[in-house]
Amino acid sequence: MMIAGNVAAAVIVLGLPAPDATARARASLRHSPPSALVRRATRGTRKPHSGLSQGPHGSSLQAGVSVGVTPTEQQDARELAAARALNAHIVRIEVRWSEYEAQPGEVSSERLSQLAAFMRAAARRRIKVIVLSQGTPCWDSTAPVQIEAACLPGQSSKANAWPPANDAAYGTFVAFIAQRFASELAAIEVWNEPDQANEDYLAGPEKAAHYAEILKAAYPAIKAVAPQIPVLAGSFIGPTGYFLRLLYEHGIQGYYDGLSVHFYTLTLAALHVIHEVQLQHHDSKPIWLTEFGWPACAPSEQIQQEQACVSARVQAENLASMTHELARLPYVAAAVFYKLQDSPEESFGVLTESGARKPSFAAVARAFANPLAKPAPVRLQLLRSAAGLIATGSAPVGDYMQLEALRDGHLRYSTLFTLDRFNRYRVALPAAIGARGLLVRVHQYGYPPRSGAHARA
């Protein structure tokens, strides 16, 4: 989603405060303790969130896809036409502060012109835009001297990942974007994955503290010029709730309208845990799932971007099932999958690199048009072996699964397990419970057994 290249000479001048050159003291970020992801928060019938338009078929889920702002209006038009064909309500783009404002107070008119053309094209198709803004310019970076010395204005650099010296400068920039494009925006997402261990997005220690400072600068600045635009906080990947608790400790409540998360593995389980942490902190803001997805790279590859490769068929099933599951979670306001089109390094798209539609394109279009349709069913078959019973089958993606074995209405055995990357399972029941006269049922953890499948031995 980044736009490479030099920044144009023409600029638009912002009234920015002078950057603070004083480096801030830091301490090491604490490691997240192990945490079980199998606890559950309250589930219920979905109701429309305040400020969100009612979606199709009674769902308030705002469904969308990540796209890129390109140098040509023709390419933007093709991507947005594809998003419209997917029945997307929103698209998510990246607007890198470091590339738009390579010099303090001067916004590249070339970048801004490209962004304005994209916004107009999206508006014509009645698609709203989530703007993710991150990346500290060289002139405001707190990167160590040896890293900052290699930072070139307007070009990607390791220094861009370090927190700003003057958080207010970031606030001024995102407020400028909010005011300029207020009518086209679905939300502004403040930074990207501040808890990511690779430090590509927010480098250095005390990440939670620095992110909280960035957020506290951005929120009031945006609200001062465009109070109707939702500001999304968090944008984290940690599913245990540990980073969120740190953010609460640093006082982020009151500085956002929605909580943004990026969950690719056990997506539903992670959402439940995060919502439970919210409830513990009296936080009722909706969750925006602004990244999730599966790379359709099997069988030629095993893994991409730390995610297990799946087949084209499984990618299609997963995106559709996840949409249907998310539409039933009352605390999830939006779901934006990653991404529209493949790139040479990634196969997460519903379009190939050449623009051909994968099976997932039609599956997503149907799911977005009817999000409250049923997800893929749980399937169960019992096999007999010399050691006893084996439960095999498949289930919808995204959550822990629970197997229970009963005899005469009494629970004899229960276990939790996860699906393989093709959404299949194979669980051997202990020989001690016997192999006859059992009722075996399998369902997603936390849901009633009747929502799953059962079989008798």
Superfamily of 39-369 according to CATH = Glycosidases (3.20.20.80)
d(CA 59, CA 219): 28
CB 136, CB 202: distance < 8 Å: no
Closest residue by Cα to residue 5 from 154, 109, 118, 117: 154
CATH 2.60.40 assigned to 379-456: yes
Q: What is the pLDDT of residue 127?
A: 98
What ranges do the domains of the chain cover? 39-369, 379-456
Q: What is the 3-state secondary structure (H, E, C) of the chain?
A: CCCCCCCCCCEEECCCCCCCCCCCCCCCCCCCCCCCCCCCCCCCCCCCCCCCCCCHHHCCCEEEEECCCCCCHHHHHHHHHHHHHCCCCEEEEEEEHHHHCCECCEEEHHHHHHHHHHHHHHHHCCCEEEEEEECCCHHHECCCHHHHCCCCCCCCCHHHHCCECCHHHHHHHHHHHHHHCHHHEEEEEECCCCCCCCCCCCCCCCHHHHHHHHHHHHHHHHHHHCCCCCEEEEEECCCCCHHHHHHHHCCCCCCCCEEEEECCCCHHHHHHHHHHHHHHCCCCCCEEEEECCCCCCCCCCCEECCEECCCHHHHHHHHHHHHHHHCCCCCEEEEEECCCECECCECCCCECCCCCECHHHHHHHHHHHCCCCCCCCCEEEEEEECCEEEEEEECCCCCCEEEEEEECCEEEEEEEECCCCCCEEEEECCHHHCCCCCEEEEEECCCCHHHCEEEEC
Length of the chain in terms of residues written: 457
Which pLDDT score is estimated for 26? 25
Nearest to 234 by CA among 266, 186, 202: 202
The dihedral of CA 49, 54, 58, 64: what is its sign?
negative
8 Å CB contact between 102 and 109: no
How far is CA 219 from its chain centroid?
A: 20
pLDDT tens by residue, the chain, 457 residues: 333 333 333 555 564 333 332 222 222 222 333 344 444 444 443 333 333 444 445 578 999 999 999 888 999 999 999 999 999 999 999 999 999 999 999 999 999 999 999 999 999 999 999 999 999 999 999 999 999 999 999 999 999 999 999 999 999 999 999 999 999 999 999 999 999 999 999 999 999 999 999 999 999 999 999 999 999 999 999 999 999 999 999 999 999 999 999 999 999 999 999 999 999 999 999 999 999 999 999 999 999 999 999 999 999 999 999 999 999 999 999 999 999 999 999 999 999 999 999 999 999 999 999 999 999 999 999 999 988 899 999 999 999 999 999 999 999 999 999 999 999 999 999 999 999 999 999 999 989 999 999 999 9
Please give the single-letter amino acid code of residue 185.
Answer: L
Q: Is the peptide bond before 33 cis (omega within 30 degrees of 0)?
A: no
In angstroms, the CA 379 to CA 32 distance is 35
Euclidean distance between CA atoms 421 and 177, whole angstroms:
40
**393 CB neighbour count, 10 Å cutoff:** 22
Copy the structure tokens of residue 419. 């699906």
The one-letter amino acid code at 392 reads T
- pLDDT at res. 226: 98
pLDDT at 11: 52
Q: At what angle do helices 267-280 and 242-249 cross, to 10 degrees?
A: 30
In this structure, the number of other CB atoms found within 10 A of the CB of residue 101 comes to 29
Q: Give Cα separations from 383 to 387, 440, 453 (angstroms).
A: 11, 12, 15
Sorted by sequence, the CB contacts under 8 Å of residue 435 that are 6+ apart come out as: 384, 388, 389, 429, 457
Task: Output the six-digit token pair for 327.
Answer: 């539409």
What pLDDT does residue 446 have? 86
Where do we find the tokens 């019973």? 389
Residue 316 near residue 329, CB atoms below 8 Å: no
